Amino acid sequence: MTQAPTSILLGAEAPRVLTIPMIAAVLADRRKLRARNTVFRWVRDQVAGGALRPMTRGLYLNQLAAPRPTASEAAGVIRTGAIVSLQTVLGEAGITNNFSDVVTSVLPHEPGHVSSVMPVKAADIEFRFHSMPTRLLDDRAGKPEDRLDLDVKYPRATAEKALLDWLYLGESKYSKIAGPPLDVEVERLDAARLRRLAREMDLTQELNAWQARKKKYDAAPDIRENNSKDLEM
């Protein structure tokens, strides 16, 4: 006897991000795949009932999974190899301003092969991708526990790695984005982890220069006054 369709979406072990082929596979019985029209009808019913949240064409978040998935989890399905990083990670950690309608990720690239960094727009969110050398995103860039948030079920940088990714892209002549802003709450970062990653990524000099600019920025009279007011609130 096959599992009831909606129950497939329930619980901690349920699939979190689904494509149409994946949905067809989980709905299939032991003999054959469901008819194409049956699959699309089931998807429409689940979207109408709020069980599935459309992302891009043919890509859905399972709103019944526990814990409920976020849009960030779809980034690695939209672009293979994508790691959520930069402003999304730092913003959600309260370290920089957060723009909830944008998900930022980094993509690995090797000489002769560059992944598409074209942004992808969904109904209520935009996915932005930025290319970086693979050596800055794999084990050569540091230990997994330093580079990756191991508490989530999708590729996501730690806050310290996100800051360094942003610093690298801001310094790179191949990137169009500016470096990280100076109004960053660096006290929320793990200083030892930040240093280890900077050393492994060969960004110690760039980090030192940015921190010097940050120190000068924080010492400006108007910034000090604003910080004092924030502490009084």
Rounded Cα distance, 214 and 186, in Å: 9
| Lowest mean pLDDT segment, chosen from 41-45, 87-91, 140-144 | 41-45
Q: Tokens 């998935």 identify what position?
A: 69
pLDDT in tens, 110-139: 877 767 788 999 878 999 999 999 999 999
Could you give the percent of the chain with pLDDT greater than 90? 64
CB 23 within 8 A of CB 50: no
CB 159 within 8 A of CB 93: yes
- pTM given for the model: 0.87
What pLDDT is recorded for position 33?
Answer: 60
What beta strand segments (E) does 99-178 contain? 102-109, 120-121, 126-133
Q: How many CB atoms lie within 10 A of CB 68?
A: 11
Structure tokens belonging to residue 94: 């309260």
pLDDT in tens, 210-226: 999 999 999 987 655 55
Does pLDDT of 180 surpass 90?
yes
Q: How many CB atoms lie within 10 A of CB 70?
A: 17
What pLDDT is recorded for position 228?
Answer: 44
Q: What is the DSSP string of 58-109?
A: TEEEETTBSSPP-GGGGHHHHSTT-EE-HHHHHHHTTSS---TTEEEEEEEE
